[in-house]
Structure 1
Amino acid sequence: MVHQTIKISSAKAAKASSKITAIVFAPSTRFARFASLRPAAALAILGLLAACSTPPPSSTAPGKTAPSLGEARSAEAEATPQRSRQVLLRERSRWVAADWSELPGWGEDRASELWPALLQGCARPAPGWAEVCAQARVETPQSDAEASLWLMQHLRPYRVESLEGEGQGLLTGYFEPQLEARRRPQGAFQVPVHAAPADLQQRRPYFTRQQIESEPQLRARLRKHELAFLDDPLDLLVLQIQGSGRLRISGPDGAEQWVRMAFAGHNDQPYQSVGKALIERGELRPGEASWPQIRDWLRRNPLRASEVLWSNPRYVFFREEPLGDPNKGPRGAQGVPLTPGRSVAVDRASIPYGTPLWLDSLDPMSLLPLRRLTMAQDTGSAITGAVRADYFWGWGREAEAQAGRMKNPLRLWALWPATEAGKTLY
């Protein structure tokens, strides 16, 4: 699944570097002894660890004023005066070894809920993960405390930073649209969803959104590639930005069929945010360009809708797939199904697919801390940078509302196999 993000200007992610370079390493085994503890005792130790730790600057709530980078490094040095910190370098990020006590809210998440996503990621493990994945398949934790302790036993946390040492980034959200459709044009259902045309790879870039939707000859050429029809051009744009969607297709006999539209390519035109276009035209104020507000503006201004939608020349094509298990998300760029609330899209040049991540951000609705375990399992053309993630909310209108409002500060910690520490990982 390759998606765009409506609120961020796009740039195609560069190919990830082929190795992580270890700069400094000082081994620590302080949590190995937890493996033999009972869950209740282990949970108590987790609480004691959080209570006794001196909270480092990295645990500052994203909504509050964060200390400067210099202050953060000074505080960390005071907290661990005898310890050198291992640093792993990637193409667009550096990972700095951390203590579990530095992860804000660690031990409070429903950690056992990560296991389905973790096992999905282990279907295509990153180099160095074979042993950990083999153990994860046979040692399923029976509680959140057991899951947290299992991760502490087998993995080591690293704070993700930019190459310049910046540890704060951005968290946005995405979702899988769930839409009504028809097989043939019928009533209001006149907006086609296209499969990739045969000449898509030969003509680069391909025709723009405006050309595809307005030029009669081109529309006629693409008619044989029509997969289904929607009743709203904005829904087509949403489907194309998210990169995948579920369609409930009703036939003339009243029978219904659920299918998935999966990403099959795009026209190689630049992605432009329609939210940004509305702000530049003075129709929305900065900070107002959420999906619900954009949808509301377009529906109040139907005669100007095409003009605004055409400001984004990017056009995405799809292939139809059986929906299969309705409780599973679409396949992400890692090639495994996404898990709502546990899968995120990342920049592969910063974080490899299959990496568990501890994220510290804010819930888009309540603005309370959002601190939880996730898996790096997807990417997107707008998801670039070291501390950058797109949070998969699931499918349907509620997921759309959550994703459309999410644009919050982010801190990330990558969890990597302890047995790989100190090596050139890959």
Structure 2
Amino acid sequence: MIAPLFRRGRLALCVAALLALVAGCDKEPEKPEPPKVDTYTKASWEELPATSDPDLLAGFRAWRSACARLAKDPVWSAACTSAGQVAEDPAEIRTWFKAQLEVYSLRNARNSPQGLITGYYEPVYAGSLKRSKQSTVPVYGIPDDMIVVALDGLYPELKGKRLRGRLEGRVLKPYDDAASIRSNGVDAPVLAWLSDPMDLQFLQIQGSGRIQLDNGRQLRIGYADQNGHPYRPVGRWLVEQGQLKQEEVSMGKIRDWAKANPQRVPELLASNPSYVFFGLNPDSNEGPRGSLNVPLTAGYSVAIDRKVIPLGSLLWLSTTRPDGSPVIRPVAAQDTGGAIAGEVRADLFWGTGAEAGELAGNMKQQGQIWLLWPKGVPLPSTAAAQPQASKSQG
């Protein structure tokens, strides 16, 4: 029996070797890695498209408004000091731009300078400080039982990353998702009450807003924290359900669908597990404060991806309004957003109220972005510009 077993063993080895050889022949050769793309491509001032504004004054003012916050920033401190000495004269400001800053075209992973430019705004919704038959949707502050764990103390490479959860015994469990919070409530202060759950959803997407009270006062609220679950656009769910086409998605279309399908609104909202908690802001007529904690300037403040563009940066934006008219101007990177991710990506703040909301809701344009970076300062690196928790979802 030894010889037949030996022969069968040799045969098995030969078959295995043959199969391995055949598999090796069928295997596609490994594809070479695509060439690395420079996110920041050096450009000249002459390559920039001409501004659609009369001059650079408005964009310069919007950026300089954050200099008090940037005074100790090693990137912008010197530029801010010199900017404070520039007269508000268009010719002097243009001279300052060229003397202080270098131009870099932002490129995406496909080496394209084209990207997506959207808009956001500060909504105003009717509400009440007390629950009533009409006002039944709570606007929550930060829950008392939510624990936030910063990870960068032990792991610097996780700078800006946060874990959010609730203690159950000695175990930290994920915090409730949005559907659970809406169904079961949460251990948190109620700042105000709204009448429409879609108002709260859009308020969470924008990250800040005003609540119009019966006595004429407008209660100002802003992003305070988030439940730790990923943001998923409700518009994407409508597309997946065949309710809207991708090119049709806008805040107006989403609200129209919700009004026509009230019985499915809970299902729509459950598709986004993220939930934003708010804090009260002082009453004032200034713009809402973004992630840089300075008032945003309508038309000149943008939310960006901090992995690519550090907060406080000065940018040159070239895009269009929804009607096709050009928007070419310097803008200030003063905010972030959960849906704002990518090299050539920005969310342009349009202001407060219904008119700004109409413009922001229809804003889904192609555009280009140039980083205007201080001369002699090393370019940002994706390792050094990790994002913190964004102030909004949109």
TM-score, shorter chain, exceeding 0.5: yes
- Verify: 1:392 aligned to 2:354, yes or no: no
Contact 2:52–2:327, Cα closer than 8 Å, also in 1:
no
Matched, 1:243 2:207: yes
3-state DSSP of counterpart to 2:315: strand
Q: Report what 1:19 is aligned to.
A: none
Q: How does 1:22-421 map to 2 (within 5 A)?
A: 94-106=39-51, 108-125=53-70, 126-143=73-90, 145-162=91-108, 165-201=111-147, 202-203=165-166, 204-215=173-184, 219=185, 222=187, 225-250=189-214, 255-324=215-284, 326=285, 328-364=286-322, 366-420=323-377
Mapped partners of 1:380, 1:107: distance in 2 = 26
Deviations 1:347-382 (A, max 9, x none): 111111111111111111x11222111011111111
Alpha-carbon distance in 2 for matches of 1:246, 1:258: 6
Computing the radius of gyration over CA atoms, which structure comes out larger, 1 or 2?
2
Mapped to 2, the partners of 1:368 and 1:164 lie a distance apart of 27
Shift of 1:128: 2.9
TM-score, length basis structure 1? 0.71
Q: Which has the higher contact order (CA 8 A, sep 6+)?
A: 1
User: 2: CA distance between counterparts of 1:363 and 1:279?
Assistant: 24
Partner of residue 152, structure 2: none
Cα shift at 1:147: 2.6
Give yes or no for contact 2:304–2:347 (8 Å, CA) kept in 1.
Answer: yes
> Where do 5+ consecutive residues of structure 1 fail to align?
1-88
Structure 1 residues 247-302: Cα deviation after superposition (integer angstroms, max 9, x where no partner)? 2223xxxx332221111111112212111111111111221110111111111221
The SS at the match of 1:420 is coil
Q: How many residue pairs are counted as aligned between the two chains?
A: 322
Cα pair 1:344 1:392 within 8 Å, conserved: yes
The answer to whether the 8 A contact 1:193-1:318 is kept is yes
State the alpha-carbon separation in 1 of the partners of residues 226 and 316 from structure 2: 32
1:421 and 1:124 mapped to 2: Cα distance? 20
Identical columns (%): 40
- Three-state SS of the structure 2 residue aligned to 1:371 is strand
SS in 1 for 2:356: helix
Amino acid at match of 1:360: S
State the distance in 2 between where 1:164 and 1:205 align. Answer: 36
State the AA in 1 paired with 2:80.
C
- From the superposition, tell whether residues 421 and 310 of structure 1 become closer, same or farther in structure 2 (CA, over 3 Å): closer
Distance in 2, Cα, partners of 1:118 & 1:262: 21
Distance change in 2, residues 1:214/1:93 (3 Å) = farther
| Secondary structure of the corresponding residue to residue 294 of structure 2 | coil
Q: Gaps (5+ residues) in structure 2?
A: 1-35, 148-164, 167-172, 385-394
Report deviation, 1:190: 1.1
- The answer to whether the Cα contact below 8 Å between 2:52 and 2:328 also exists between their aligned partners in 1 is no
Q: Is the 8 A contact 1:195 1:318 kept in 2?
A: yes
Question: Which piece of structure 1 moves more, 236-245 or 161-170?
Answer: 161-170
